[in-house]
Amino acid sequence: MNKSELYRKIPKVDDILNHEETIKYLKNNSLNILKLSIDKILNNIRNDIEDLTENNYCDYIIDCEIIVKEIVNDALKYNKMNLKNVINGTGVVIHTNLGRSCINKETAMEVYKIASGYSNLEFDLNSGKRGHRYDHIEKLICQLTGAESAMVVNNNAAAVMLILNTLSQNGEAIVSRGELVEIGGSFRIPDVMKLSNTDLVEVGTTNKTHLKDYRNAITDKTNLLLKVHTSNYRIMGFTESVSRENLVNLGKTNNIPVYEDLGSGLLFDLSDYFKSTEPTVKSVVNSGVDVISFSGDKMLGGPQAGIIIGKKKYVEKMKYNQLTRAFRVDKMTLAALEITFRQYLDIETAKLNIPTIKNLTIDIVDIIHKAEKLLNVLHNIENLHIEIIQDESQVGGGSMPLTRLKTYALQICIDNMKPDDIAKSLRTCSYPVVGRIKNEMFLLDLRTIDENEFNDIKKAFIEIINGGKNV
Ligand SMILES: *Cc1c(COP(=O)(O)O)cnc(C)c1O
């Protein structure tokens, strides 16, 4: 056998197209996509043959059946989205790696409506002239937060950058050493300040910062007093930080604006539900802080966005910063944000309907019921050993790092499988389930699992235990 004989054995496209596997595929799938796979796989074979040496000609096998299967499998992969839903059994409510906040159906439908048609995004229907995209939500945000003015950018990181650049460019911003935060994904306050052309003036020590530290650091270059919410850590023990009110007074006395990066945007008091250390947005506005920013998809429970609120003279200036154009949000985000904020007009509606709020405030009795129901759904599966245990879930998203929420979880063992193997198999099956491991045990936390996901969880276990065959 030589190379040209091998080349001649490569199946003809017509033969591939007439193969019964291909015909089956084509009943429900696209011919054009199949052609892409035919080109790709046949090219791979030609390249393989090209690379063969005299010694391994004879080992190279060209089998039409195998090649057709490979082509059809490759083509089927194009049908599958890489970005897909997963079931969150981690108990972390705002899980950044799993997409943070989920939106409810009403919100998703509103996004669908706005995204699938033309809209008045930047068009004033009364005057027929150009409008502003922020007009649709500004009043609503102001009403809910008590702020004078509001705007929205792509995420809170962009908000921080825009605010620093607008209010403190070519000058200094004073911040406490205890608040030089790094958020997951390497967003670091000092680095962002550099990018915003702002000089960082650090005051105090890691554990203690006094009002006089800020006061002594003020010079004629000082443009901003910055407070950063230590979202994802707490400094404990011998500590002192300057209260918002004192910082606001210092700012007023020296005619320097105070900006607080709040991280999470909590719109109502959660202390009825658990010991909350997160201030509400309204309380921060009331304390007189000039500018505040927070994320749309943390405790607010909306889409990814950065919400900026504050005194009109500062927010207006930001609207005309060129960075605003680069950071501007899409109509899908605006639609989701508007409906999310609207749901907060009736706080009881928000608690019931906004998934993040619902998962944070769910009654422990409801979690137990969910655990019992899921146990029931799974209990028939062979080789599966399940126990309901009490445990703790986390808020996540860098919010309230010390708060633990009482929860119930299923502790699941499978014969001949280690907890890590269970976790990996569930992650990689057709409908991925993500759990957590604690004390060498695999757990599914019911706080973040919805009842309508129970059947998919059952399918996932059947798939990993029986290799996809139904019991
Ligand atoms: C989360 C967070 C950010 C970043 O917000 P994104 O919306 O993820 O861009 C910035 N600052 C603080 C204090 C945060 O907690």
Q: Is 152 in the pocket of ligand 1 (CB under 6 A)?
A: no
Domain end (from 295, 325, 352): 352
Q: Is 187 in the pocket of ligand 1 (CB under 6 A)?
A: yes
**114 and 68, same structural domain?**
no
Say how many domains are in the chain. 3
Question: By alpha-carbon position, which residue is closest to atom 11 of ligand 1?
Answer: 263
- Please give the number of the atom of ligand 1 that sits closest to the Cα of 228: 13
* DSSP per-residue codes, 237-306: SS-B---HHHHHHHHHHHT--EEEEEES-B-S--TTTS---PPBHHHHHHTT-SEEEEESSSTT-SSS-E
pLDDT one digit per residue (tens) for the chain, 471 residues? 678 888 999 999 999 999 999 999 999 999 999 999 999 999 999 999 999 887 777 788 889 999 999 999 999 999 889 999 999 999 999 999 999 999 999 999 999 999 999 999 999 999 999 999 999 999 999 999 999 999 999 999 999 999 999 999 999 999 998 888 776 666 788 888 888 999 999 998 877 889 999 999 999 999 999 999 886 667 777 777 888 999 999 999 999 999 999 999 899 988 888 777 789 999 999 999 999 999 999 999 999 999 999 999 999 999 999 999 999 999 999 999 999 999 999 999 899 999 999 999 999 999 999 999 999 999 999 999 999 999 999 998 877 777 889 999 999 999 999 999 999 999 999 899 999 999 999 999 999 999 999 999 999 999 998 874 444
Domain end (from 308, 324, 352): 352
Q: Is 260 in the pocket of ligand 1 (CB under 6 A)?
A: no
Residue 141 lies in a domain: yes
**262 and 140, same structural domain?**
yes
Residue 470 lies in a domain: no
Question: By alpha-carbon position, which residue is closest to atom 2 of ligand 1?
Answer: 263
**232 and 186, same structural domain?**
yes
**411 and 294, same structural domain?**
no
Residue 129 lies in a domain: yes
**120 and 259, same structural domain?**
yes
CB 164 within 8 A of CB 362: no
Residue 471 lies in a domain: no
State both tokens at 60.
Answer: 């190279």
**368 and 347, same structural domain?**
no
**188 and 52, same structural domain?**
no
Domain end (from 300, 326, 352): 352
Q: What share of the chain is helix, strand, coil (3-state, %, to 5)?
A: 45, 20, 35
Number of CB atoms found within 10 A of residue 44's CB: 13
Domain CATH number, residue 291: 3.40.640.10
- Ligand 1 centroid to 347 CA: how many Å? 24
Residue 82 lies in a domain: no
Q: Is 333 in the pocket of ligand 1 (CB under 6 A)?
A: no
Q: Is 384 in the pocket of ligand 1 (CB under 6 A)?
A: no
Number of CB atoms found within 10 A of residue 325's CB: 8
**343 and 217, same structural domain?**
yes
Domain that holds residue 425: 87-95+359-465
CB 460 within 8 A of CB 116: no
